């Protein structure tokens, strides 16, 4: 892609550096399969240097206590990113394969214009201290105070599907609360992270070591961030399988964990719903960005009394999905991130057919797109919730439709999942929809198309969908420790 010139270097201890080994790895455009550049291939010694610098910056500078400095540095970084918005947009399209038409949302503009500023402004609003009532004991009277302090060194590990947005959701609140942060980019999408490193180095007053960016092609090297006792917290977004691995590696040092993991979210469409209104958005959302979003509603539950009607509505909307070149404005579904991911999705589709689900649309590679990691928008009907395509996260443009008998059956099916990230309920009665949503074991619920996503809205999941929350008060506070102090009062 022309006009894209990414930063290959990492940021370690205030310096933009190559890997000490001199190695680099390729950055590939998933829409064209072309190599668009390279990034430093960090090794164990690079990670060791970054961890040491982050530890020193936390222990030896006043970053953890100087809220005015933190706010100034984050505002400087926000201005610097905003000044390179167009270049970052082109970069994300090239390395992520995200369609230009969705850049106005969470992938870039929403994250930069809303998600970034909120924690910075919240520095002045957060309750850093609060007084408790006087404590009367046989030993005397004491004043008491509760303090909020930073956790320490935070390893922020981001995925490839929304790399900039997830980085923002981690690094800004973590830095705002006084932690030092090591940002580890996904190997498929390194440049948006290294751009942040360059902007910090060139345009801000961040003390050396407070914010660092690491890139590597080797997941084993990246595990240093999880196992090293100098790291106090790991903030990870990605698959549940990797989340389990992180928990195991972090256990010996009892690190604080935030894990935002996978999902297999259900859209419960009740029998009094307006099907056209309820299902049109779900069909489009299942394909947006190649279905590469953890909170996508990938299971649609329809009442048997309106099942054929509902499947027909979804099929019609699926047929309208524009997919292909992410540079075309009306495209909402670009490529999958890699050949490996494309082939994984196709294997799930083959498995769904083998299990007896009815393939309504799609199911293969588009004949008209011989280059790029594309999968056709794929719709399955007559799915049983026990099938793999209904139980496992496919992370592709695949929607499954499941019939149910009554309201209780719908709730049972929706909750019969190892995941619990998001959900939706559609009904002609808002009160009924809310009642059903309260019964769903999921971290978020959309009622009749309501949008819960916002910088002040906590997001995260139940069960295998993770631990902790992103955004909002809960997301800000999770990067803090709580200390209670007390002192004697005169008699």
SS3 annotation, 197-263:
HHHHHHHCCCCCCCEEEECCCCHHHHCHHHHCCCCCEEEEECCHHHHHHHHHHHHHHCCEEEEECCC
Residue 198: what pLDDT?
98
What is the model's pTM? 0.96
Quote the CA–CA distance of 294 and 175 in Å, as a whole number: 25
- Condensed to tens digits (0 to 9), the pLDDT of residues 314-350 reads 999 998 999 999 999 999 999 999 999 999 999 999 9
Q: Catalytic residue numbers?
A: 260, 294
Angle between the N-to-C axes of helices 307-318 and 275-287, in degrees from 0 to 180, rounded to the nearest 10: 40
Mean pLDDT of 296-319: 96
CATH class of the domain whose range is 265-454: alpha beta
**What rounded mean pLDDT belongs to the chain?**
97
Mean pLDDT of 392-410: 98
SS3 annotation, 271-311:
CCCCHHHHHHHHHHHHHHHHHCCCCCEEEEEEEHHHHHHHH
* Domain locations in the chain as residue ranges: 10-261+467-485, 265-454
Look at strands 358-361 and 297-303 and give their pairing: unpaired
Residue with the two structure tokens 């933009």: 16
Quote the CA–CA distance of 472 and 169 in Å, as a whole number: 10
- Condensed to tens digits (0 to 9), the pLDDT of residues 24-75 reads 999 999 999 999 999 999 999 999 999 999 999 999 999 999 999 999 999 9
Residue 283: what pLDDT?
86
Residue 379: what pLDDT?
97
Is the domain covering 10-261+467-485 a CATH 3.40.462.10 domain?
no
pLDDT-derived band at 185 (thresholds 50, 70, 90) equals: very high
% of the chain surpassing 70 pLDDT = 99
% of the chain surpassing 90 pLDDT = 97
pLDDT-derived band at 3 (thresholds 50, 70, 90) equals: low
């Amino acid at each position: 892609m022309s006009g894209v010139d990414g930063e290959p270097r990492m940021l370690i201890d205030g310096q933009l550096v190559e890997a000490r080994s001199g190695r680099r790895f390729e950055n590939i455009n998933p829409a064209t399969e072309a190599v668009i550049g390279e990034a430093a291939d960090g090794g164990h010694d690079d990670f060791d240097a970054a961890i040491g610098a982050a530890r020193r910056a936390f222990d030896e500078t006043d970053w953890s206590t100087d809220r005015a400095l933190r706010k100034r540095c984050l505002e400087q970084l926000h201005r610097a990113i905003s000044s390179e918005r167009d270049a970052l947009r082109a970069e994300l399209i090239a390395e992520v394969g995200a369609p230009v038409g969705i850049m106005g949302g969470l992938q870039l503009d929403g994250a930069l214009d809303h998600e970034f500023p909120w924690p910075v402004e919240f520095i002045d609003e957060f309750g850093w201290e609060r007084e408790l009532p006087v404590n009367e004991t046989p030993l005397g009277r004491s004043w008491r105070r509760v303090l909020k302090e930073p956790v320490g060194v935070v390893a922020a590990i981001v995925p490839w599907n929304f790399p900039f947005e997830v980085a923002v959701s981690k690094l800004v609140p973590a830095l705002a609360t006084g932690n030092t942060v090591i940002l580890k980019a996904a190997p498929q999408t390194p440049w948006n992270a290294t751009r942040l490193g360059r902007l910090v180095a060139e345009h801000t007053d961040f003390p050396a070591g407070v914010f660092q960016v690491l890139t590597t092609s080797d997941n084993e090297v990246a595990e240093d961030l999880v196992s090293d006792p100098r790291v106090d917290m790991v903030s990870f977004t990605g698959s549940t399988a990797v989340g389990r691995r992180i928990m195991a590696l972090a256990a010996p040092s009892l690190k604080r964990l935030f894990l935002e993991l996978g999902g297999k979210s259900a859209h419960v469409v009740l029998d009094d719903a307006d099907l056209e209104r309820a299902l049109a958005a779900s069909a489009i959302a299942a394909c947006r960005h190649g279905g590469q979003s953890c909170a996508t509603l990938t299971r649609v539950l329809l009442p048997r009394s309106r099942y054929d009607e509902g499947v027909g509505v979804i099929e019609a909307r699926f047929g309208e999905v524009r997919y292909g070149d992410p540079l075309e404005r009306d495209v909402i579904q670009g490529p999958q991130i890699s050949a490996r991911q494309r082939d994984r999705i196709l294997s799930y589709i083959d498995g769904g057919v083998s299990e007896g689900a009815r393939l309504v649309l799609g199911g293969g590679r588009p004949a008209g797109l011989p280059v790029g990691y594309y999968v056709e928008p794929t719709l399955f009907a007559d799915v049983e919730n026990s099938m793999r395509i209904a139980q496992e996260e496919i992370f592709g443009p695949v929607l499954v439709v499941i019939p149910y008998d009554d309201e209780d059956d719908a709730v049972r099916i929706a909750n019969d999942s190892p995941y619990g990230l998001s959900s939706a309920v559609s009904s002609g009665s808002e009160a009924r929809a809310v009642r059903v949503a309260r019964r769903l074991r999921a971290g978020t619920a959309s009622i009749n198309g309501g949008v819960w996503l916002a910088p002040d809205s906590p997001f995260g999941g139940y069960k295998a969908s993770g631990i902790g929350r992103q955004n909002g008060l809960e997301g800000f506070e999770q990067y803090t420790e709580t200390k209670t102090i007390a002192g004697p009062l005169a008699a």
